[in-house]
Structure 1
Amino acid sequence: MKIVYIDMDDTLCDFRGAFTKALKESPEMKYPQAQYRFFADLQPIEGAIETVKLLIDSDTYDPYILSAPSTRNPFSYAEKREWVEKHLGFDFCKRLILCAHKGLLRGDILIDDNIEGKGQDRFEGQLIHFGSGAFRNWTSIRVSLGI
């Protein structure tokens, strides 16, 4: 089975949308992600949950969520776990990895919206750049992975 790590912010859930909305509502706020419940209340990106469920049911892939916690919000650790339970179920919480340096983990595939900044550039497996030309959305990733 191929180990697949999936980033959360702007890959599984809409960090940027919530960030922009919070800034519009409170322009003086320097770090909207520091708000209590910011991470727990993020909306899933279209197709993300369905794709993770397909990966879970696959005989080819072994999926995990790999997310860097926010240093601006100590609640992000618990809130990310809460988000996973809400959208993917309690059992999948055992597959949540919070790590500030993604290059430390071994695996076959990392799906992330960034190609650097949190160790993505040091990941030894295949990096699928979510939101880029070939991988614009979750439909294109499902096609690429054959699920």
Structure 2
Amino acid sequence: MKRIAIDMDEVMADFTKKHLALFNADYNEAITLEDLQGKKLRDLRPHLVDEIREYLKDPTYFRDLDVMKDAQEVIKELSESFEIYIATAAMHFPSSFTAKYEWLQEHFPFLDDQHFVFCGDKSVIKADYLIDDNVYQLERFTGEGILFTAPHNIHEDRFIRVNSWANVRDYFLK
């Protein structure tokens, strides 16, 4: 059985929606997803990089992220034909471990929690495929890297791209 590793933030969980909402409320801004095309929030407000990163240090930040549209259904379908692993770069924010684990258990109870990998560098993941929004994770991955569209990676063209979970379904199951 082939193995698919899937990133959590911006692939399964809508990280940017919450990040923008918090930032906009705290700084009386109106930054939109369109403003982030090809950029991250810290690129738009470099003088607030430390403040932007502080949100992610909150141990509860990752607990209530919205699930990406169709992610639950498609991952469930994929799990019938593929071995599924969740590979999340939790080491960037170690305080996120519990929140991420609980989020995965709540929203993806059909997945084996022994297949949750909390790591930093995903090149250590032994899988046939890695679905991720971060190019730097795909660059060193030894299997086939699949780029999940997010505002910050919109101009990237070096990897197979999927724009939605419907695209993921089509790629793997059709």
> Are the counterparts in 1 of residues 7 and 88 from structure 2 also a CA contact under 8 Å?
yes
* More helix per residue: 2
2:109 to 65, 73, 89: 89
Q: Which secondary structure does the structure 1 equivalent of 2:79 belong to?
A: helix
Displacement after TM superposition at 1:34 (Å): 1.9
1-structure distance, mates of 2:164, 2:52? 29
Aligned to 2:129: 109
Residue number in structure 1 paired with 2:16: 16
What TM-score do the two structures reach when normalised by structure 2? 0.75
Task: Work out which structure has the larger RCO, using CA pairs closer than 8 Å and 6 or more positions apart in sequence.
Answer: 2
Supply the distance in 1 between the matched residues of 2:106 and 2:84 (Cα, whole angstroms). 17
1:1-147, aligned counterparts within 5 Å?
Answer: 1-27=1-27, 29-31=51-53, 32-58=55-81, 61-69=82-90, 71=92, 73-89=93-109, 92-116=112-136, 119-131=137-149, 134-146=161-173
Structure 1: tracts of 5 or more residues without a match: none
Displaced runs of 4 or more, over 4 A: none
Superposed CA offset, 1:46-86 (max 9, x none): 0111111111222xx10010000153x43201111001100
Highest Rg: 1 or 2? Answer: 2
Q: How many residues align?
A: 142
CA distance in 2 between counterparts of 1:53 and 1:110 reads 17
8 Å Cα contact 1:109/1:127 also seen in 2: yes
